[in-house]
């Protein structure tokens, strides 16, 4: 870009991500050390993950399986054979002075991930996702990365399995990035780049942090271009506490890393793993299935697949009752009341049976929808009572047929004027009589049912 001044309105934001996802294995990727993050510093180490001379790595099968499952989830190509490479660089948290990673034949290639942003479906292409080892962790004491008095290093994390997921530069705003990160439940992310001179931002550790760092970069780069300055190709550090990015170093190029094959690890043949390994149904597929199988609206299907727990509970309820009723009670009534109380579905996981009983009371017409919603559900959430306790205590059970018939007869006997008004064709008379019956039954009769019974009785 050569223009001295550029209208920032003409500039498009282009963001790609390299996201590091920690794989949840019991042990590290190339040795048997525990990955438990709660252990004391430098206790989960061995000659392999400390990079001692002569120590040889062995691949953790569980990490490879997890990577293949990620590949299936993003519909990636998984090659017949995949290999490991050494990425050479010096850093205090990297005891071998190289990181074992993958280079030209990563385990997952050309995938795709769908997500929702402001109610719209978007899909981002995944260029590659490869396996690698995490470095150790540094703890800066007495200041930040540039001001600390000294720095401690913990090698417990060194060798924890990671997948680095690299997207195509398909994002157009920091908000999209945040929505994408939420969709994949990815824990940690590290980068954006904006061509032609890409800027990489590191040390981002939350979805919110990613959005903030990217918004900061968007403004910083637009301002630089507006003033006729070039955007440097460099690596910048995201300072969460100050809310700014700071220049760390000029961006490494691939050749700086002197990639070469990790000769201590033979090629991995993973061709048939994709068929062998099963993955759970993903939220997007489930959302689609909910629409088709249960005939739900797009909005209801989205709400009901917002978390796995919500989706599982809905399917449980829908297996016993009408799907529309189940959708209304889970998506609207239950989630609405939970949201109002700042609660999550997981907060009521031990009360699913009671909530299903409430739906049953509505489904079998034993209580009115209004009472179920306003008295029973709220009482259950606020006081922890069971639906039957609340129905009993508040006298909400719909009055049985006999009692309604008695009340209808009594209302007719006691109100001859209203009866003759009805026969004279006065509209208000029937409503008056319905009111009388409702009063006699303590409001627990169904008004539509009462109306019909009165008419039958008066016409008969």
Q: Is 31 in the site for Zn ion (CB under 5 A)?
A: yes
- Minimum CB separation of residue 267 from Zn ion in Å reads 23
Q: How many CB atoms sit inside 10 A of residue 184's CB?
A: 19
Scan for tokens 């910048």, then name that residue.
236
**Residue 55: both structure tokens together:** 């120590």
Residues near Mn ion (CB under 5 A), total: 1
Q: Is 33 in the site for Zn ion (CB under 5 A)?
A: yes
- Minimum CB separation of residue 164 from Mn ion in Å reads 4
- Minimum CB separation of residue 332 from Mn ion in Å reads 43
Using CB under 5 A as the binding rule, the residues of this chain from 47 to 106 that contact Zn ion are 48-49
Q: Nearer to Zn ion by C-beta: 155 or 329?
A: 155
Q: Of 124, 129, 143, 133, nearest to 59 (Cα)?
A: 133
DSSP tag of 236: E
Q: Nearer to Mn ion by C-beta: 164 or 211?
A: 164
Q: Which residues are within 8 A (CB) of 7 and not within 5 positions of it... i.e. 6 or more apart?
A: 226
- Minimum CB separation of residue 48 from Zn ion in Å reads 5
Scan for tokens 């909910």, then name that residue.
290
- Minimum CB separation of residue 128 from Mn ion in Å reads 11
Residue 46, binding choice from Zn ion, Mn ion, none, Cβ under 5 to 8 Å by partner class: Zn ion
Q: What residues are paired with 124 via a beta bridge? A: 113
- Minimum CB separation of residue 44 from Mn ion in Å reads 21
- Minimum CB separation of residue 156 from Zn ion in Å reads 9
CB 24 within 8 A of CB 187: no
Preceding peptide of 196 cis, ω within 30° = yes
Scan for tokens 């904006």, then name that residue.
194
Q: Which of 134, 154, 164, 217 binds Mn ion (CB under 5 A)?
A: 164
Q: From residue 258, how far is each of 82, 103, 253, 254 by CA, in Å?
A: 19, 11, 10, 7
Q: Is 418 in the site for Zn ion (CB under 5 A)?
A: no
Residue 164, binding choice from Zn ion, Mn ion, none, Cβ under 5 to 8 Å by partner class: Mn ion
**Residue 356: both structure tokens together:** 């299903």
Residue span binding Mn ion (CB under 5 A) among the ranges 68-76, 159-167, 174-182, 348-356: 159-167
Q: Is 46 in the site for Zn ion (CB under 5 A)?
A: yes
Residues near Zn ion (CB under 5 A), total: 5
CB-based closest residue to Mn ion: 164
**Residue 75: both structure tokens together:** 């519909």
C-alpha to C-alpha distance for 192 and 179, rounded to whole angstroms: 15
Q: At what angle do helices 447-459 and 401-414 cross, to 10 degrees?
A: 60
Q: Nearer to Mn ion by C-beta: 163 or 419?
A: 163
Q: Nearer to Zn ion by C-beta: 132 or 176?
A: 132
Residues that bind Zn ion (CB under 5 A): 31, 33, 46, 48-49
Which residues of the shown chain bind Mn ion in the complex (CB under 5 A)?
164
């Amino acid at each position: 870009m050569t223009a001295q001044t550029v209208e920032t309105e003409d500039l498009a934001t282009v963001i790609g991500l390299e996201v590091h996802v920690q794989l949840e294995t019991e042990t590290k990727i190339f040795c048997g050390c525990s990955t438990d993050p709660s252990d004391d510093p430098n206790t989960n180490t061995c000659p392999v993950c400390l990079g001692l001379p002569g120590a040889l790595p062995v691949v953790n099968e569980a990490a490879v399986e997890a990577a293949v499952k990620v590949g299936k989830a993003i519909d990636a190509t998984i090659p017949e054979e995949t290999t490991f490479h050494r990425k050479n660089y010096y850093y205090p948290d990297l005891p071998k002075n190289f990181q074992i990673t993958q280079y030209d034949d990563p385990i997952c290639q050309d995938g795709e991930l769908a997500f929702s942003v402001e109610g719209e479906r978007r899909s981002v292409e995944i260029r590659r996702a490869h396996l690698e080892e995490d470095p150790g962790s540094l703890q800066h004491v007495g200041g930040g990365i540039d001001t600390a008095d000294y720095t401690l290093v913990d090698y417990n994390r060194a060798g924890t399995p990671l997948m680095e997921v690299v997207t195509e530069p398909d994002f157009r705003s920091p908000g999209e990035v945040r929505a994408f990160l939420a969709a994949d439940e990815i824990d940690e992310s590290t980068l954006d780049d904006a061509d032609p001179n890409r800027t990489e931002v590191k040390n981002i550790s939350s979805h919110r942090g990613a959005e903030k760092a990217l918004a900061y970069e968007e403004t910083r780069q637009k301002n630089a271009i507006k003033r006729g300055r070039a955007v440097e190709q460099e690596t910048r550090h995201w300072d969460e506490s100050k809310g700014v990015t700071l220049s760390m170093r000029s961006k490494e190029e691939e050749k700086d890393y002197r990639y070469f094959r990790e000769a201590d690890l033979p090629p991995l043949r993973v061709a048939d793993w994709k068929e062998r390994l099963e993955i759970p149904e993903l939220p997007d597929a489930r959302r689609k299935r909910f629409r088709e199988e249960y005939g739900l609206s797009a909005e209801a299907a989205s709400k009901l697949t917002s978390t796995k727990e919500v989706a599982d509970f809905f399917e449980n309820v829908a297996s016993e009752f009408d799907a529309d009723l189940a959708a209304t009670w889970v998506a609207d009534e239950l989630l609405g009341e939970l949201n109002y109380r700042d609660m999550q579905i997981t907060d009521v996981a031990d009360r699913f049976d009671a909530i299903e009983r409430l739906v049953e009371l509505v489904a079998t017409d034993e209580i009115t929808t209004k009472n179920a919603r306003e008295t029973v559900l709220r009482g259950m959430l606020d006081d922890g009572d069971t639906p039957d306790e609340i129905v009993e205590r508040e006298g909400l059970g719909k009055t049985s047929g006999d009692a309604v018939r008695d009340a209808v007869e009594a209302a007719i006997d006691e109100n001859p004027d209203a009866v003759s008004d009805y026969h004279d064709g006065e509209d208000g008379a029937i409503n008056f009589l319905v009111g009388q019956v409702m009063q006699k039954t303590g409001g627990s009769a169904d008004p539509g049912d009462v109306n019909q019974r009165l008419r039958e009785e008066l016409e008969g």
